């Protein structure tokens, strides 16, 4: 068996620790070719689509990619920003803020980086870079609060596949889920209350989670149960009666039965039943993305209003909310206990020298201009 090239090892080097915040991924651009590359990688994952490989290869390459890539590119273009893909931008900012929050808790020697399961920066690429930097301890923090084999399980696969090619494997820790973590639930509560304070309360709060095939539930995937627990805990924090909120599942793909009730038909039925105002929250998405900004804020709004609904408000994802970053820091801290997480005196001095040099360079550049 051959291994990937190892970075030069220096005896006596200081052990380093890292937290990798991993999100699903995004195309590099809202173009047909970029979306096709992304979809091919995403939909080729056997964790995502559990269909016999040969049959699925024909369906994917002959039916889905040629026809869906262009339509998906148009949808991505509708939510793209000057900074790039919203999901990538928010995840980058979350990683930066998480590093600062851990530093404030005394873990200033921990590297915090973000990676994507599909697309760039790829998880193997990020793990290889950390190894080159001498990280001997790595904690994997998925951006998904609820565990599913299709998401978190796939991250595990990618991590294990990468390190199967590495001779010097670092110590690894994994965050499996945080669907009931108090910091996460409190952040969701704060987001809803802030929205209600600014806009008033609706007749119904809809909590829409990403869907998965019902078959996964029957085979033992805990995702459905964890979504319902998140919703129940959030409703309790908001002091909502059962009739004041509803849990739904979105993003259904294909003809198989998925987790129900489905989001779009539920919104239409609510409107037909005389519910004139709804607020919709996507607790399972920690960063706004195509599924929240286009599928919910645009398409779901249209579905509700076309069926007779009057007021539809989408409540943004947690993104960079301070309460959420604080919750992530608590979760990360629980998984790096016992690791060397503080900078040494030499590292602090080097950091101060680097910062001083950067400031001096910036001053010189300003003087020249």
Residue owning tokens 């869907």? 211
Distance CA 334, CA 182 (A): 13
Report residue 317 CA to chain centroid gap. Answer: 10
Report residue 363 CA to chain centroid gap. Answer: 38
Distance CA 112, CA 314 (A): 30
**Residue closest to 187 by CA, chosen among 295, 101, 278, 68:** 101
By residue count, the chain amounts to: 369
Cβ neighbours, 10 Å, residue 25: 22
- Long-range CB contacts (within 8 A, 24+) of 57-64: 64/39
CA distance readout (Å), 309 to 9, 200, 271, 301, 364: 64, 16, 5, 9, 60
Residue owning tokens 């739904």? 248
83 is in an annotated binding site: no
Residue 90, both tokens: 């928010």
Start-to-end Cα distance in the chain: 56
Residues 6+ apart with CB under 8 A from 242: 235
Residue 357, both tokens: 């040099």
257 is in an annotated binding site: no
CA distance readout (Å), 317 to 91, 191, 329, 353: 12, 8, 18, 38
118 forms bridges with which residues in the sheet? 25
Annotated binding site: which residue ranges? 210, 291
Annotated binding site for Fe(2+): which residue ranges? 210, 291
């Amino acid at each position: 068996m051959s291994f990937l090239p190892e970075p030069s090892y220096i005896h006596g080097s200081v052990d380093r620790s890292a937290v990798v915040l991993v999100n699903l991924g995004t195309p590099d651009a809202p173009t047909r070719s970029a979306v096709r590359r992304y979809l091919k990688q995403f939909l080729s994952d056997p964790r995502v689509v559990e269909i016999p490989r040969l049959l699925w290869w024909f369906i994917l390459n002959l039916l889905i990619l040629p026809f869906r890539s262009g339509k998906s590119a148009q949808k991505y273009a509708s939510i793209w920003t000057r900074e790039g893909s919203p999901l990538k931008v928010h995840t980058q900012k979350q990683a930066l803020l998480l590093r600062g929050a851990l530093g404030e808790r005394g873990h200033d020697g921990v590297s915090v980086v973000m990676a994507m399961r599909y697309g760039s920066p790829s998880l193997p690429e990020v793990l290889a870079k950390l190894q080159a930097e001498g990280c001997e301890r790595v904690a994997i923090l998925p951006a998904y609060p609820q565990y599913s084999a299709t998401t978190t399980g796939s991250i595990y696969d990618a991590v294990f596949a990468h390190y199967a090619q590495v001779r010097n494997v670092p110590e690894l820790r994994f965050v499996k889920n945080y669907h009931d973590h108090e910091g996460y639930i409190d952040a969701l509560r704060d987001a809803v209350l802030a929205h209600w304070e600014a806009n008033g309360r609706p007749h119904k709060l809809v909590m829409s989670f990403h869907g998965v095939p019902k078959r996964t539930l029957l085979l033992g995937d805990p995702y459905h149960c964890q979504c319902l627990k998140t919703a129940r805990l959030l409703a309790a924090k908001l002091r909502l009666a059962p009739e004041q909120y509803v849990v739904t599942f979105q993003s259904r793909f294909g003809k198989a039965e998925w987790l129900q009730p489905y989001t779009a038909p539920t919104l239409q039925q609510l409107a037909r039943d005389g519910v004139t105002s709804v607020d919709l929250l996507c607790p399972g998405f920690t960063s706004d993305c195509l599924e929240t900004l286009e599928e919910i804020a645009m398409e779901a709004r249209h579905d509700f209003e076309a069926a007779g609904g009057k007021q539809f408000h989408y409540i943004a994802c947690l993104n960079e909310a301070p309460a959420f970053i604080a919750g992530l820091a608590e979760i990360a801290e629980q998984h790096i206990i016992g690791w060397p997480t503080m900078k040494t005196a030499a590292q602090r001095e080097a950091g101060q020298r680097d910062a001083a040099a950067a400031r001096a360079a910036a001053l010189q550049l300003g003087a020249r201009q």
